[in-house]
Amino acid sequence: MSLAVASAALASTRADFRIRRRGPAYLVMLVGSVLLGLLAAPPRDAAFQVLELGPYRGEFTTGYLAAVTAMAGGLWLSFAGFAAVRGALARDEAEGVAELVASTSRPTASHLLGRFGGAVLVLLSGALVLLGTAVAIQLLRGESTRIDPVALLLPLAVVELPLLLLAAGAAVLWDTVRPLRGAAGAALWFVVWMVLVIGGQSGRGLDLLGMGRITRSLRDAVVAQGDDPHRMEFGVGLTMNGPSREVVHWAGLPAGSWLELVPQAVALAALALALVLAPCAWYRLMPPRPAGRAEAAQAAQAAQAARFRTAGLGAPPPALDRPFPLLAEVRLLLLGQPWWWLPLLALTAVAAGFTAGAAPAVWIALMPAWSRLGVPAPSPASDIVAACPSPGRRRLATVLAGLAVTVAASAPAALRNPSPTWEAVTLGLAALALACNAATRSPRLFQALFPPLWYLIVAH
């Protein structure tokens, strides 16, 4: 990598981080990190813990809390943080930044590395907030007041940071593949994340979380204090097993055990860098120009709408004035989807009409449409909606459009096996999408919540 590329990437990293930290997604991620830090060291009579140890819990030392926050933070930030940092390249194209950068001599690699660096700084700041919260809670609990800097930072460096680099690299890669910028990308990352989570806790394959070494060390600590290690159960996640806990006096993994994970951490960092640089083969900073007459007209109307908003004139004159734009709202839900989405939705709906096993797949197929529910979309149909004389009618049309698409897709499954629970969950997911999208004016919050929520519903 040349010095010019590195210098341009550093400048882009600083600028990107300044932009990202002003957004609501950054604040939500930091609040989540603080809450996770509070959960890592719960009160003595709490019925939950983040690191499941069966009837035991670890003594709140620096080594124990650093290990817990590294594992839990790696999982939380690699999932929720991915949702917070994705979309940077799409934002650049929408705001004209990509076109400005393309007009300079700056290579694509420096731009992608800058977006990667900004994402890493966002995720790393969340990790540091989580770690600082855990240290404050350790001092507040008073079980151990000694702070060991080495034991505190080693788990962050060899366990949590590589996962954050991987999530940031995947976010950049997803942004360069246009079909993965929406709901499909969120669903795909959830699958990848689940594989990492299960693999990191199963004891087989890569020890991404250091779980194997931590569990062996904790078993040895239980044996050393004369207890039965066979009663221990291990897992990372918020678990509820009652307030009675026997304290395990564990100072944390020795530094040598953490350093054994360095080659794995370096490999993950190299993989993350490869994910960032690979799109240089196909990604271009200048977005493709509309090829057809209809696309050119749509782009011209979107540009006109942007000029009107910039001038403070509101929406441009509507191409068509309708008192109740239900059809326009339905069109907004369906516009811009990949060509294969509508046939896939129809096929999934028909399959759900014949077999109950395909019914949950209808929710996944509806995710792209739900992601657009209540989100402003620049298109010719937006003028019709903006020209509606009543905001109340406009909101009602949005609700009815989402209801129409949802009912049409879920009708075969409901007719095959009428179930109030199925219908209530389906409508509840649509309502959740509308609430999240209307509150944030973006689909990213719903796209982050939907995959784990879908998994919990199907699993239980």
The verdict on residue 451 lying in a domain is: yes
Non-local (6+) Cβ contacts of 214 within 8 A are 67, 71, 253
Residue 90 confidence class, pLDDT cut points 50, 70, 90: confident
80 has a pLDDT exceeding 90: no
Q: Which two tokens stand for residue 254?
A: 């020795």
Q: What is the pLDDT of residue 320?
A: 43
Residue 21 amino acid letter: R
Burial grade of 16 (CB within 10 A; 0-12, 13-18, 19 or more): buried
Query: Are 133 and 15 part of one and the same domain?
Result: yes
Tokens representing 168 are 């940031």
Do residues 246 and 359 share a domain?
no
Number of domains in the chain: 2
Are 73 and 189 part of one and the same domain?
A: yes
Q: Note the pLDDT tens digit of each residue in 278-301.
A: 998 888 876 555 444 445 555 555
- The set of residues, in sequence order, having a beta carbon less than 8 Å from that of 107 and lying 6+ positions away, is 5, 8, 280
Residue finishing a domain among 281, 307, 337: 281
Return d(Cα 229, Cα 90) in angstroms, integer.
51
pTM to 2 decimals? 0.77
Would you state the pLDDT for residue 341? 82
Please give the Cα distance from 331 to 384 (Å, whole number): 11
Domain annotation covers residue 203? yes
Residues 112 and 191 in one domain: yes
- Asked whether residue 42 is domain-assigned, the answer is yes
With contact defined as beta carbons under 8 Å apart, do 305 and 378 qualify? Answer: yes
In the chain, % helix, strand, coil (3-state, to 5) comes to 70, 5, 25
What pLDDT, on a 0 to 100 scale, did the predictor assign at position 116?
94
Rounded-to-integer distance, Cα 433 and Cα 374, Å = 8
Asked if residue 433 and residue 384 are part of one domain, the reply reads yes
Q: Are 254 and 323 found together in one domain?
A: no
- What domain range is 361 assigned to? 319-459
Helix, strand or coil, per DSSP, at residue 287: coil
Half-sphere exposure of 136 (CA within 13 A, CB side): 12
225, 253, 281: which is the final residue of a domain?
Answer: 281
**Position 4 confidence tier, pLDDT thresholds 50, 70, 90:** confident
Residue 233 located in a structural domain: yes
- Per the model's pLDDT, the better-predicted residue between 249 and 198 turns out to be 249
Q: Is residue 115 part of a domain?
A: yes
Per-residue model confidence as pLDDT tens digits over 98-130: 777 777 777 888 889 999 999 999 999 999 999
Query: Which two tokens mark 426?
Result: 């389906």
Res. 458: pLDDT tops 70: yes
In this structure, the answer to whether residues 85 and 138 fall within a common structural domain is yes
In angstroms, rounded to a whole number, what is the distance separating the alpha carbons of residues 143 and 241? 22
**Same domain, yes or no: 233 and 346:** no
Is the domain of 119 the same as that of 46? yes
pLDDT value of position 158: 92
Q: What is the DSSP string of 44-74?
A: TT-SEEEEE-TTEEE---HHHHHHHHHHHHH
pLDDT tens across 41-76, in order?
Answer: 887 777 777 887 777 888 888 888 999 999 888 888
In a domain, 287, yes or no: no
Q: Are 106 and 115 in contact (CB under 8 A)?
A: no
How confident is residue 435, by pLDDT bands cut at 50, 70 and 90? confident
Q: How far apart are CA 100 and CA 86, in angstroms?
A: 21
Q: Are 129 and 175 contained in the same domain?
A: yes
> What is the pLDDT confidence band of residue 391, given thresholds at 50, 70 and 90?
low
Distance CA(66)–CA(102), nearest Å, equals 43
**Is 307 a domain residue?**
no
Q: Are residues 346 and 209 in the same domain?
A: no
- pLDDT at position 156 is 92
Residues 355 and 272 in one domain: no
pLDDT band at 318 (very low <50, low <70, confident <90, very high): very low
Q: Which pair of structure tokens corresponds to residue 54?
A: 């069966």
Residue 266 in tokens: 């370096």
Confirm if 255 and 150 have CB atoms less than 8 A apart: yes
Domain assignment of residue 217, yes or no: yes
Say which DSSP state 236 is in. E
